[in-house]
A and B are shown apart, each in its own frame.
Chain A
C-alpha cells in the first residue's frame, strides 16, 4: 500500500478513477433533483386541476353533486388516486374521507392520517367553495417517494458497479503503467550495476513507451561508444606515454652512474619530455576543436592564399626529405574559419603524406571549388592504405600496424577530421590506387573564382 501511494502510475490511474466517480455522482444528483422537482410540479398541477374540476361540479350542482363526484373518485383504485374533504369554517369535515385538519388556502404540504399506515404526508390545495365551505384536494406523495426510492437504489447499484469497474480498471491501468516503467528502470538499474551493454526492451507497437525505450537505447549506444572511445584513448595514452617515459628513466639512470658533463643527457631528457608534452598538447587541441568553442573566432579565411603559402613553405622541407610537392591552387577561394586550424589541418595532411611514403614519392596539393565546396586535397603515389583500413585511420591513436614503428601518435588525421567538422566540413580518405587521397571538404564562402581562370601552377624549386 505504501509503495502504491508513491507510485505515479497508480496515482494517475486512481486520480482518473476518482474524478470519474465524482462526476458520475454529481450527474446522478442533478438528474435526481431535476426529476424530483418535475414530479412535484406535476403533482401540484394535478391537484390544482382536480380542485378546479370539483369547484366546477359544486358550482353546477351544489354540495350534493360534489359529494357524489367525491364518492366516485374515492372508490376508484387508480394509483394516482386523490383524497378529498370539505370543511366548515370551524374545521368540521362535511364531505370526503380525508382525515386532516382544515387547510389554509393555496398549495401546501398536508399531514393526514392514512387509515392503514397512520400519519402521512401529502400535497394538497385548499379552495373556498363558498364562505362556509373549503374544499381540500390532496394527493398522496407515496408514489413519488416510491419512484424516488427506486431511482436512488437503481442509481446506487449502477454507481457501485461503475466504481468497482473503475477501481479495477485503475488497478489494471496503474499496474500496466508501472510495468512499462519498471522495465525501463530495471534496465537502467542493470546499467548502473555495471552492464552498459544492457538495453531497454522495445515493444512492437511503437507507442510512446516504445519510442522512449528506443531513444534511450540510442542514447546508451552513443554513451557506450564514447566510453569505449575514452577507454581506448586512455589506454593508448598510457601506452604511448610509457615508451618516452621509460626511455627518459633509462637515460636519467645512466646519467646517475656516469660522472662529468651531463649536458647531452639533460638535453636528451628534455627532448623526451617535450615529446610527452606535445602528445598532451595534441590531445588538448583535439578536445578544444571538438568542443566547438573556437567557432566564435571564425573569420573569412583566404584559403587560396593560405594554401599557396603552405605549399611554398613546405615544398623545400618535403624536398629535403627526398619527396616532391607539386601544387595546383584555384584562386579566390574563401571559407569561414580559423586560419591557424586550417593551416594545421593542411600541414598534417602534408606531413602524413611525407611520413608514410617512400623516398621519391610525389605529393600533390590541390585546392579546387566544387559547387559550394572548397576541396583541399593531398594526394600521394605511395603505397597507400587498404580500403578496409581507411575508416580506421581517422580514429584517435589509429596507427596501422605497418606504421607502428614510425614517429607520431596517430593523432594527425583525427585532428584534421575534427577541424573539418568544426568548419562544417569533412575529411574524406580515398584509395588513390596507388597512394592515398585525403580531401578536406569545406563550405566555400563566396566562389569568386572562375573555373576557367588560369590556375596557379607551381612546383618545388
Chain B
C-alpha cells in the first residue's frame, strides 16, 4: 500500500516509515502540512497518517482541505492530545480514525490496515463464513460445524469484528471502540474476559481455537484454521 505519513517529528516519522516498510508497504513522508496537502492532491495514496500538529498548516486543516477537494482516502489522525474535544474536532474535520501518542506501532499498523480495507467492505454483508464458523449478522446466529452456538450480544459482536478482519490483527483498543464504543482505556480486562468466554463457547468439545492472541496487541481470527 502507498501510505502518506505527514509528521514533522523526524524520529516518529522514521519509526512509522520503517515499521510500515517492514510490513511491505510503501510509505512517503511529508514533514509539513503544505507538502502533505500537495502530495495528497497530486499523487495517489491508499491511506494517510496525519499528525495533528504540523508546521505550516496544521493536520486538521490538511484533512479539511483534502476533504473539500474531494480527496476521499481514509485518514488516520495522530495526536498528542487525548481530550474528548480533540477527538470530536478531528472526526469533524473528516478524519476516519484517531490515535493518541504515544502509541504502539502494532496499534498503528492494525488501524492503517483496517482503514485501507474499509472501502471494499462497504457492501452489506449478511453472512460471514470462516474456518467452519458461520455467523448470520441479520439473525444474530452462530453455527460451528453444524452446531448452533449461543452467544451473548457482546460476544457475538466481538466474533463479528474479528471475522470481518479475519487474518488481520484487531487490537484491544479497536475492539473497545467498536464493540463497546469506549474511546478511553477503562484499564480493565473486559475485552479479555469476553474473548475468553467467546472462546470457551466457540471451542466447546475441544475444537481448535480460531482466535489467536497477539500478545500485547490484540487478537486475530485465523483465516484457515
Q: Which residues of A contact B (CB under 8 A)?
A: 267, 270-271, 277-278, 281, 284-285, 288, 293-294, 296-297, 309, 312-314, 316-317, 320, 338-341, 343-344, 347, 351
Contact = CB atoms under 8 A, between A and B. Distances in A.
B184 A340 contact: yes
5 contacts: A284-B82, A285-B82, A285-B184, A293-B85, A297-B84
Candidate in A296, A312, A313 with the most chain B CB atoms within 10 angstroms: A313
Candidate in B152, B180, B184, B186 with the most chain A CB atoms within 10 angstroms: B186
Give the top 6 A-B pairs by smallest Cβ distance, nearest first: A317-B193, A347-B186, A316-B193, A288-B83, A317-B190, A294-B84
Nearest to B102: A277
B158 to A, nearest CB: 11
Nearest to A291: B83
Contacts of A313: 154, 180, 190, 194
A341 B187 contact: no
B102 A317 contact: no
Contact of B190 (A278, A288, A314): A314
Interface in B143-160: 152-154
B184 A344 contact: yes
Interface string B182-197: 1111111110011011
A343 B84 CA distance: 14
A312 B152 CA distance: 9
B88 interface: yes
B216 A267 contact: yes
Contacts of A343: 182, 186
A376 to B, nearest CB: 16
B187 A278 contact: yes
B185 A281 contact: yes
A31 B154 CA distance: 99
Contacts of B104: 270
Interface residues of B, number: 27
B85 A296 contact: yes
Contacts of B88: 297
B183 A340 contact: yes
Contacts of A338: 84
B84 A341 contact: yes
Nearest to B196: A320
A418 to B, nearest CB: 13
Contacts of B187: 278, 351
A372 to B, nearest CB: 26
Main secondary structure of the interface of A (DSSP, over half): helix
Nearest to A281: B82
A444 B187 CA distance: 28
Contacts of B152: 312
Contact of B154 (A270, A285, A312, A320): A312
Contacts of B180: 309, 313
Contact of B186 (A270, A271, A294, A344): A344
Nearest to A284: B82
A207 B83 CA distance: 46
Interface string B165-181: 00000000000000011
Contacts of B186: 343-344, 347, 351
Contacts of B215: 267
Candidate in B180, B184, B194 with the most chain A CB atoms within 10 angstroms: B184
Contacts of A316: 190, 193-194, 197
Given A314-B190, A316-B193, A344-B184, 14 more contacts: A278-B185, A285-B184, A293-B83, A293-B85, A296-B85, A316-B190, A317-B189, A320-B196, A338-B84, A340-B84, A340-B182, A343-B182, A347-B188, A351-B186
Interface in B58-85: 82-85
A313 B197 CA distance: 11
Contacts of B185: 278, 281
Contacts of A341: 84
B67 to A, nearest CB: 21
A343 B215 CA distance: 27
A278 B84 CA distance: 16
Contacts of A277: 102
Contacts of A340: 84, 181-184
Contacts of B182: 340, 343-344
Contacts of B216: 267, 270-271
A323 B20 CA distance: 44
A338 B82 CA distance: 15
A297 B87 CA distance: 11
A414 to B, nearest CB: 14
B188 A288 contact: no
A351 B186 CA distance: 9
Nearest to A319: B193
Nearest to A354: B188
Contacts of A285: 82, 184
Interface string B45-58: 00000000000000
A297 B153 CA distance: 28
Nearest to B100: A281
Contacts of A296: 85
A294 B86 CA distance: 10
B154 A297 contact: no
Contacts of A317: 188-190, 193
Nearest to B154: A313
A343 B177 CA distance: 13
A409 to B, nearest CB: 10
A82 B131 CA distance: 143
Contacts of B184: 285, 340, 344
Contacts of A278: 185, 187
Contact of B188 (A270, A309, A351): A351
B147 to A, nearest CB: 20
A249 B95 CA distance: 38
A413 B15 CA distance: 37
